Amino acid sequence: MKIAAVVGARPNFVKIAPITAELRLYPEFEVQLIHTGQHYDRNMSDAFFQDLGIPEPDVNLNVGSATAALQTAEIMLRLVPVLTFERPDLVMVVGDVNSTLAAALVAVKMDIPVAHVEAGLRSFDRGMPEEINRMLTDAVADVCFTTEPAAEANLLREGIAPDRIHHVGNVMIDTLFRCRERAAASTILDRLRLTAGGFAVLTLHRPSNVDDPDTFRQIMTAVTGIAAVAPVVFPVHPRTRQRLEHSPAAAGLLLVEPLPYVDFIQLMSQSVCVLTDSGGIQEETTALGVPCLTLRTTTERPITATIGTNRIVGLDPGCIAAAWNEIREARWPAGQLPELWDGKAATRIVKVLLDRLPG
């Protein structure tokens, strides 16, 4: 089976790393890695490949930045000749970024089966670009690999046949567990002059939070209150840096460039809490047992809030401050590790693919 694995953004790299490593253990599989270039900043792309031990991509489409529609269209245009030449037996996509949807649409139009890793997640907020990507990708995928029971329920409700759905666990946690020792050896705390358990971490990248000046100001007001008590480390996403240049609140934060994977995992694991609008970080903090305040009103990863360490606090500074006080007073639930988040999701994915081999 010849598999074209298509990735394009930082979260994709974390998810594809354990899968390609597992696939390469079997001579039955030939793996081609295609990087769309959706994330092109070195700290968000090249450094991640090195950190995660992912071989250089076989193909880089070098798409770069654009609006969601233009980026999706450009990826499709550049991917068609690659798949025409290579003719893989399966196109594998991960997550919910523009590259995920673009590759799935091209594959299905070319009559190539699609496997979607991290299928079925739903925020039920169609204002999120990722929600549209998730729904459309799942609709055309031949194989849907899920991370939590709610995802399977969503797919069944949308009419996806049960034999297309496989609950395999979370490949992001595979990577997290695989990199724990290297992360523990990171010197990031020393370099930033931080004390374990004495700081918070902030990440923001969602357009609804960053691009709206009033919303961004509201979040910064809440974060400034936390920064008055403990350092807040803010690895700044490229799209967010433009906003910060005009925000006086940035003066109270420790701004850093996007960090290599092992440095960021160490930073999160040693923090008192993480404030984020990222879906993947909700999962990683649950696996690390670190309190997470999600700066959104919805989540597509509900298990992190029902049994994990995550809470959806929204954007109200009062709610964020109240949650922060619970953490400081050690009143935050410890959380549990969800079923099959055991570092073996990639093994289960490959077993499903082995069962699909002819003969």
Check 166, 205, 237, 246 and give the catalytic one: 205
- Give the three-class secondary structure for 72: helix
- What is the Cα–Cα distance from 263 to 310, expressed in whole angstroms? 21
Indicate the burial class of 149 (C-beta count within 10 angstroms; 0-12, 13-18, 19 or more).
middle
CB 143 within 8 A of CB 155: no
- What is the Cα–Cα distance from 65 to 39, expressed in whole angstroms? 8
CB atoms near residue 58 (< 10 Å): 14
- What is the Cα–Cα distance from 282 to 209, expressed in whole angstroms? 16
- Residue position matching structure tokens 């069962």: 355
Q: Whose CA is closest to 300, among 177, 155, 184, 171?
A: 155
How far is Cα of residue 118 from the mean position of the Cα atoms in its chain? 10
- What is the Cα–Cα distance from 134 to 141, expressed in whole angstroms? 10
CA angle centred on 238, ends 237 and 241, rounded to 5°: 85
Q: Is 35 in the active site?
A: no
Q: Would you please indicate which residues are annotated as catalytic (active-site) residues?
A: 205
